[in-house]
Amino acid sequence: MAYNKPSFDATKVSLDPAIVSIGATGATPTTDLGAVESAGFELISEVEDVFLGAPQVLVAVLPSREEATMNWTLMEWEIQNFARAIGAGVTTDTSYRFGAGDVAKQQFSTLFQHRVQGSGDTFEVRVWKAIPAGNLPVTLDSSQTLFEMTFRAINTAGANWRAETVDEYLEIVQIVAP
């Protein structure tokens, strides 16, 4: 008999990464970035404690910073992804030129889709406007070449690429469950 075994639903357990798509800000992301070795996202909410009285006691916890970061590791050589990861530079079908001191980073919309094997449900992480973190570590080793990309969600005002109104003070990322 197993001890300390929690109840769980095996149809909600999933093992594979995701399909990652990218596109122009304001448009539904339709460019599939290819084979994904790993993918993930991080939501950060930093808070400030408010203490009042004598002796001071905690009376409130207020959010001071909210951030969403998406990262994925790609497995395919795709020259366009170099510029996407950096948010700058010039690409052709066969080359990428970088180092001109581009001040304005290119912005994108991103869509992260993960299908759960057991249930077939698809979860989505939608970012209406994202900016590349500005680095592109490339790992060359004996197994495979890997390309790491990180994007940070930035404030969106107006409508998203799904034609829904977005309150600029409420949403930088939307996670949709079936």
What is the share, in percent, of the chain residues with pLDDT greater than 90?
A: 34
Tell me what pLDDT residue 90 has: 84
pLDDT at 101 over 80: no
CA distance to 6, 8, 12, 13, 174, per residue, from 3 (Å): 9, 14, 22, 21, 38
CA distance to 24, 38, 43, per residue, from 159 (Å): 14, 30, 22
Tell me what pLDDT residue 27 has: 86
Tell me what pLDDT residue 64 has: 92
Give CB contacts under 8 A, 24+ apart, made by 88-91.
88/134
Cα dihedral 30, 177, 68, 87, rounded to 10, equals -10
Confidence of residue 169 (pLDDT cuts 50, 70, 90): low
Mean pLDDT for all residues in the chain: 86
Tell me what pLDDT residue 159 has: 62
Maximum average pLDDT range among 29-33, 56-60, 78-82, 93-97: 56-60
Question: The pTM is what?
Answer: 0.82
Q: How far apart are CA 176 and CA 163, in angstroms?
A: 16
Closest CA to 71 of 147, 155, 176: 147
Domain boundaries, the chain: 10-176
